[in-house]
Amino acid sequence: MIHVSDLSKSFTLHNQGGAVIPVMAGAALSVEPGECVGLTGASGAGKSTLMRMVYGNYLAAAGSIRVGDLDVAQAEPREIIVLRRRTLGYVSQFLRVVPRVPTIEVVAEPLLVLGVARDEARDRAAALLARLNIPERLWGLSPTTFSGGEQQRVNIARGFVHTYPALLLDEPTASLDAANREVVLQLIGEAKARGAAILGIFHDEGARVRVCDRLVDVTHFTPGAA
């Protein structure tokens, strides 16, 4: 479902003397449906960079990133927009929302964009929020006022509300208590069982051992490292 080959990336900092910083070379990995692959490597090794490139958030310098039938490295913006709507979900570490939108709407939005009826979208959003232990009295409030752990759970609910065939997870269990961590690990297990291809970053070693089928060390893709 996700196939990365010979991917490279550098940043050019025009306002800092035009410094060119190569950050990745020769990256390659595959994630099959129903599989979860974990990215490992020290902080700064390029785990998030690789994940952002798969999502089309960072541009690739060279190489290919196939998600389903689309090469994200070559695709037009509108093709990536459709891919993100239907096929490729992303749970980032940050929740970015319009300030006053109620939590339930934030979670239901990916379904509304796909044309799911409002009632059904809200029901599915409500079911996930309940499962992730967000109290019902908070559903009508904007998540911008929530604690870090609550925001993280809203973000997870938003990422799992549609049954994306491919999912990117950036530290989905960070800042969660044991009970909620368990819910998230179950959600990941269920997504794998229905055939989703998952690429994740898990600093939480217990979580990594439990959900990942394979690990890919991104240190091998660091330019200049052998």
Partner 1 sequence: MNARIFYENSETSQEFRCAERPLLAVRGLTKRYGERIGCAEVSFNLWPGEVLGIVGESGSGKSTLLSCLAGHLAPDEGEVVFATAEGPRDTVTMSEAERRRLARTDWAFVHQNPRDGLRMGVSAGGNVGERLMAVGARNYGAIRGRALDWLERVEIAADRIDDRPRAFSGGMQQRLQIARNLVTGPRLVFMDEPTGGLDVSVQARLLDLLRGLVREMGLSVIIVTHDLAVVRLLADRLMVMKGGRVVEQGLTDQVLDDPRHAYTQLLVSSVLQV
Tell me which residues touch partner 1 (CB under 8 A): 11-15, 52, 56-59, 77-78, 80-82, 96-101, 112-113, 115
- Asked whether the beta carbons of 64 and 74 are under 8 A apart, the reply is yes
Comparison of 36 and 73: residue with beta carbon closer to partner 1: 73
Which residue, 52 or 208, has its beta carbon nearer to partner 1?
Answer: 52
Distance in angstroms (rounded) separating the CA atoms of residues 129 and 214 = 30
Least distance between partner 1 and beta carbon 112 (Å): 6
Q: Which is nearer to partner 1, 100 or 137 (CB)?
A: 100
Which residue, 55 or 202, has its beta carbon nearer to partner 1?
55
Quote the radius of gyration of the chain (alpha carbons, Å): 18
- Please, which residue, 58 or 146, has the CB nearer to partner 1? 58
Give the SS3 label for residue 64.
Answer: strand
In the complex, the smallest distance separating the C-beta of residue 88 from partner 1, rounded to whole angstroms, is: 13
Least distance to partner 1, CB of residue 100, Å: 5
How many whole angstroms separate alpha carbon 41 and alpha carbon 45? 6
Nearer to partner 1, 17 or 135 (CB): 17
> What is the sign, positive or negative, of the torsion defined by CA atoms of 214, 79, 48, 17?
positive
Among residues 83 and 211, whose Cβ is nearest to partner 1?
83
Least separation in angstroms between CB 193 and partner 1: 29
Q: How far is the CB of 178 from partner 1 (least distance, A)?
A: 33
Element (H, E) at 200: strand 197-201
Residue position matching structure tokens 């065939």: 165
Question: How near is the Cβ of 63 to partner 1 at its closest, in Å?
Answer: 15
Task: Count the alpha carbons within 13 Å of 88 in the hemisphere toward its beta carbon.
Answer: 28
CB of 162 to partner 1, least distance (A): 15
Report which residue type is found at 220. Answer: H
* Beta carbons of 157 and 134 less than 8 angstroms apart: yes
Asked whether the beta carbons of 77 and 68 are under 8 A apart, the reply is no
Environment class of residue 175 by beta-carbon count within 10 Å: exposed (0-12), middle (13-18) or buried (19+)?
middle
